Amino acid sequence: MTRDSSATTDFSRRDALLAGVASATMLAGAGAAEARVAGRRAAPPPEIVTWTAADLAARIRSRAVSCREVMTAHLDWIDRANPALNAIVSRVERPALLAAADEADREIAAGRHRGWMHGLPHAVKDLAATRGIRTTMGSPIFADNVPKADEIFVERLRAAGAILIGKTNVPEFGLGSQSYNPVFGVTRNAYDPSRTAGGSSGGAAAALAARMVPVADGSDFAGSLRNPAGWNNIFGFRPSAGRVPHGPTNELFVQNIGYEGPMARTVGDLALLLSVMAGYDARTPLSLDGDPAVFAGPLDRDMKGVRIGWLGDLGGVPMAPGMLDLCLSGLRRLEAAGCVIEPVSLGIDHDTLWKAFVQLRQGFLAGGLGPLYADPARRKLLKPEAVWEIENGMKLSAVDLYNASVVRSRVYEAYRKAFERHDFLALPSAQLFPFDADLHWPKEIAGVPMDSYHRWMEIVAGPSLTGCPALCVPAGFGPEGLPSGIQLVGPSRQDLAVLQLGRAYEQVAGDILGKKPALLG
């Protein structure tokens, strides 16, 4: 696969479909979105929505604040903030949510406390099944789909006391790191509504950054959790493969590249959410054992002498001007905590890595979305990127996929050897800064043509293939004042160590984290 080859997808057909199906309100231009933001800057959000999830949980448990007060404050703020960003979709009606909050208050009064999420409002990413709440996956094919059962991690959120208020917006089937679809329209960046929030966890990231929810869940195959976290100045954690059970699904053994993880405004909140989402489940045989309560404990650790290998642009992956400087400058903040930052090379041909990544992805998508493609009526409703993935996946042989998996194994081995010399590895979470929200995907970076709708995100492919834990931390703001992030990658199953490094970074990056998004003034 060469960079100057042309994509074979018919984008004009999809553009016409979007124009005919999407709501005019949801697809309002950047100017209208910015006007709505400007109209709200004068009135700050309710104080409650600015608290961390940990603070909210403590105050609810002590009855310093009621679940109804927390729910009301968040719903009021969503009413004001969401029209500018379009982050939360399929909202549950307010009376039902207030009734659920009242029931949560009654439980506390009776001495029944479910956990730190008790009474907290939560919106689930619209790729995950939610019992009784519409789950569209951003596709007109599933615009009216209401599941009868939750995904495993959603079951856990409910059991921990979370009150589901709706869903967060995604690109169709999670394809692409730009959250737009013909059902709900485009989600806009919390720091600049004229720009994209990223994806596929774009709705989750924008809602979280804008204080519409205390924490959020995301999912990640090709940076879908890491990129929007960086672009909205929050934390996003792609845990080790199997840490959070994925499913239940029809296929239990092969697809282990994409799975769910937590997003938050603080590393402590991130770890708390992971403590709820993580843990073995017999319905997913490759899920990991271990007590997830470890993530709810203290994260402070002495970082003196910790060695971090800086991977940079991986030896030539195209980068927008200013990106490498921003990310390395952010990473060097950890030197104040005692870390040693050193350049390192993995010794992998990145075009070979990318080809294997794309083939594995196409093989999975051809299997998962193939039945929709086989139906001519439904095929017409698929986004062209999905058609492109499926058709290319159908051309692959079993030997092709085996060879791609061999390359994946070589990538893991290269990372494993690097971890013999360095405790962690680091690289940017994106190759460019947030682009125009009305652009489907960037066609070039630094003058280099992109040959597919996701080639501009190849910087995330290596950590995805390894299954190693990767935390996106805010890097700061680039030449145009737009945010991006850094991937901090740890050895396989060393999730707690990566979170501890993230906590150390948080302590030296207060000025970055303190910059408020557009809606908050």
Q: Which residues pair with 180 in a beta bridge?
A: 186
* Positive or negative torsion for Cα 362, 175, 268, 304: positive
pLDDT value at residue 26 = 34
CB 379 within 8 A of CB 358: no
In tens digits, the chain (521 residues) has pLDDT values of 334 333 333 333 333 333 333 333 333 334 444 544 554 455 799 999 999 999 999 999 999 999 999 999 999 999 999 999 999 999 999 999 999 999 999 999 999 999 999 999 999 999 999 999 999 999 999 999 999 999 999 999 999 999 999 999 999 999 999 999 999 999 999 999 999 999 999 999 999 999 999 999 999 999 999 999 999 999 999 999 999 999 999 999 998 999 999 999 999 999 999 999 999 999 999 999 999 999 999 999 999 999 999 999 999 999 999 999 999 999 999 999 999 999 999 999 999 999 999 999 999 999 999 999 999 999 999 999 999 999 999 999 999 999 999 999 999 999 999 999 999 999 999 999 999 999 999 999 999 999 999 999 999 999 999 999 999 999 999 999 999 999 999 999 999 999 999 999 999 999 999 999 988 86
CA dist 224 to 15, 192, 416, Å?
A: 23, 19, 23
pLDDT of residue 37: 52
Determine the 3-state secondary structure of 195 from DSSP. strand
Q: What is the pLDDT of residue 90?
A: 98
pLDDT of residue 519: 86
Q: How many CA atoms lie within 13 A of 381 on its CB side?
A: 20
CA triple 505-469-195, angle to 5 deg: 65
Question: How far is the C-alpha of 442 from the C-alpha of 49, rounded, in Å?
Answer: 34
Instruction: Return the DSSP state at 7.
Output: P
Identify whether the C-beta of residue 440 lies closer than 8 Å to the C-beta of residue 332.
Answer: no
Chain centroid to Cα 305, Å, comes to 31
Greatest CA separation for the chain:
65
Contacts of 6 (CB under 8 A, 6+ apart): 451
At residue 12, the pLDDT reads 35
Question: Looking at residue 226, what is its pLDDT?
Answer: 98
CB atoms within 10 A of CB 347: 9
Place of tokens 């406390």: 113
- What is the distance in angstroms between the CA of the first residue and the CA of the last residue of the chain? 45
Distance CA 327, CA 478 (A): 9
Torsion over CA: 141, 133, 199, 218 (sign)? negative
**Residues 286 and 242 sit within 8 Å (Cβ to Cβ):** yes
- In angstroms, what CA-CA distances link 334 with 106, 363, 460, 514? 45, 40, 22, 18
